[in-house]
Amino acid sequence: MGQRIEQLEQDVQIHNCHLKTIDDKLEEAINKIYVLENKASEWEKDQSRLTQNVQLESRHFHESGFDKDPDPACVSVSGEKGLKFSRSSLNQKLNDLCVLVGIEPSEIIIEGKGLRKRFNLTFKGAAMAKCFLDSLQDDEGKWIPINVLTANGGNVRLFFNKAKSKKQEKTEILSGAIGRIIREQLGESFEVFVQRATGVVSVDWVPVACLSCPTPDEVIFQWNIPEVERIKLDKGAALEKFKAGGRPPVAWSTGS
């Protein structure tokens, strides 16, 4: 009987050792899980911070000026066919228009000096800018011709429009440039039309080229190759002339 009790006591000790070993392993596993959970939490925080940084950088780029939405209180004024006109002539015309609209001239800020192809007007609020633009249209929504004197005594018609982002302005200017180059290359046999707002150049009403400006320093061209081949457009020569500012490339030499 005594031996049996002694054997049972030894078995209990062995089981206790096994249980302790299992407890130790369980505690170690729990500690590992705790460490992993902490690391996972830190990883999630890092990812959240990175995401926020990317969003902030993206927002900074889009609001840095190039792709920023234009100020609704701002109106652009440009001369017909890119002709220049003076700030003083514009200011005089605005004084006359303000009397008709019921706006004080002091409530409009003219941005720019001297002779320019375009000036920006900043009103005291978007509602005032809209009221001003609406007053320049007749009952059918057509723009009333507004003219100012040029330096040589001639007249130039002014066009008033809502302000545009720098990205949109660049797209319109450069698409007009490539459109002129394509028109010059093809001659009078084809009708070339430029949709400046979208940067699409069409020949005989079929889209041929599309220009986009994703960043201030980047211009991307896309081509409708089957149509380019059909009208025999030399897009390489067109691009070279575009890069040269609309002028034919010059073969510079250091020789005499």
* Rounded Cα–Cα distance for residues 202 and 182 (Å): 10
Question: What residues form DSSP beta bridges with 222?
Answer: 210
List the chain pLDDT tens, one digit each, 256 residues.
556 666 656 666 676 676 777 877 778 878 778 777 776 677 667 666 655 654 554 444 444 578 888 888 999 999 988 788 999 999 999 999 998 888 899 999 999 888 888 899 999 999 999 999 999 998 888 999 999 987 777 889 999 998 888 898 899 889 999 999 999 999 989 999 999 889 999 999 999 999 999 998 899 999 999 999 999 999 999 999 999 886 655 565 665 5
* Residue ranges of domains in the chain: 1-63, 74-164, 167-243
Determine the pLDDT at residue 136. Answer: 92
Tokens 């009987």 belong to 1
Beta strands in the chain (DSSP E): 74-79, 85-86, 108-111, 115-116, 118-123, 146-149, 155-162, 192-195, 200-203, 206-215, 218-223
- For residues 231 and 208, the answer to whether their CB atoms sit within 8 Å is yes
Q: How far apart are CA 144 and CA 97, in angstroms?
A: 12
The fold of the 74-164 domain, in CATH, is Alpha-Beta Plaits (3.30.70)
